[in-house]
């Protein structure tokens, strides 16, 4: 990040957001890192959010899970992001929703995307969406230096 850069971190999990805020404060980076305590999705509003399932939190349509709470959700279209912005998406299965709410930033390939994808079906949807907006995305499946069974896949789509 250059001297004029900034980071907007979206964190809907209240516990994680508090830890993140404490880390930002202890590093003295409050002037460059903004924490938005919200999930990112297709539209502004609220959504069900599940905490503590398989060591990660996620948006959930399953009302039967324990640890569910209602959290604020926002679409990236509501944020004024300059051309050249890099957006890292790690949303545990809501990748397509994030892109649906970010069409303003997809148009004209104004942004670069790094998207962690969860499953082959979501990967196809994300690739199709990015291609529709003129991106030429590439899929990466890195080898983890410690965990031999690591099988996470990422999509990189570089904007202009």
Mean pLDDT by 10 residues, the chain (160 residues): 82 90 96 95 90 54 63 93 91 93 91 94 97 96 86 92
Distance CA 122, CA 139 (A): 12
Domain assignment of residue 110, given as a range: 38-157
Residue 9: inside a domain, yes or no? Answer: no
Say if 115 falls within a structural domain. Answer: yes
Q: What are the CA-CA distances from residue 17 to residues 12, 20, 22, 23 (Å)?
A: 7, 5, 9, 10
Other CB atoms within 10 Å distance of the CB of residue 140 = 10
Query: Does residue 24 form part of some domain?
Result: no
Q: What is the pTM of this model?
A: 0.85
Is residue 33 one of the residues assigned to a domain?
A: no
Cβ–Cβ < 8 Å for 157, 126 = no
What pLDDT, on the 0 to 100 scale, is given for residue 63? Answer: 53
Decide if 65 is inside a domain: yes
- Report how far residue 20's alpha carbon sits from residue 26's, in angstroms, rounded to the nearest whole number: 10
Whole-angstrom distance, CA of residue 11 vs CA of residue 105: 20
DSSP 100: H
pLDDT of residue 97: 96
51 three-state secondary structure? strand
Q: Pairing between strand 112-117 and 56-59?
A: unpaired
SS3 130: helix
Q: How far apart are CA 112 and CA 109, in angstroms?
A: 8
Whole-number Cα distances in Å, 71 to 39, 40, 49, 63, 137: 7, 10, 6, 14, 31
We report the CATH number of the domain holding residue 152 as 3.40.50.150
Please indicate, yes or no, if residue 105 is contained in any of the structural domains. Answer: yes
Q: How are beta strands 68-74 and 112-117 bridged, if at all? A: unpaired
Give the chain's domain count.
1
Check residue 54 and give its pLDDT. Answer: 47
């Amino acid at each position: 990040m250059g001297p004029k850069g900034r980071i907007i971190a979206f964190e809907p999990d209240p516990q994680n957001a508090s830890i993140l805020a404490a880390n930002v404060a202890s590093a003295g980076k409050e002037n460059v890192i903004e924490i938005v305590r919200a999930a990112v999705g297709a539209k502004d509003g609220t959504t069900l959010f599940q905490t503590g399932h398989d060591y990660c939190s996620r948006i959930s349509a399953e009302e039967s899970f324990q640890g569910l709470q209602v959290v604020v959700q926002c679409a990236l279209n509501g944020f004024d992001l300059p051309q050249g912005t890099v957006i890292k998406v790690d949303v545990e299965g809501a990748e397509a929703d994030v892109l649906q709410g970010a069409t303003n930033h997809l148009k004209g390939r104004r942004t670069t995307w790094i998207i962690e994808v969860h499953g082959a079906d979501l990967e196809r949807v994300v690739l199709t969406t990015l291609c529709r907006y003129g991106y030429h995305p590439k899929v990466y499946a890195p080898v983890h230096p410690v965990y031999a069974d690591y099988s996470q896949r990422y999509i990189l789509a570089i904007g202009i």
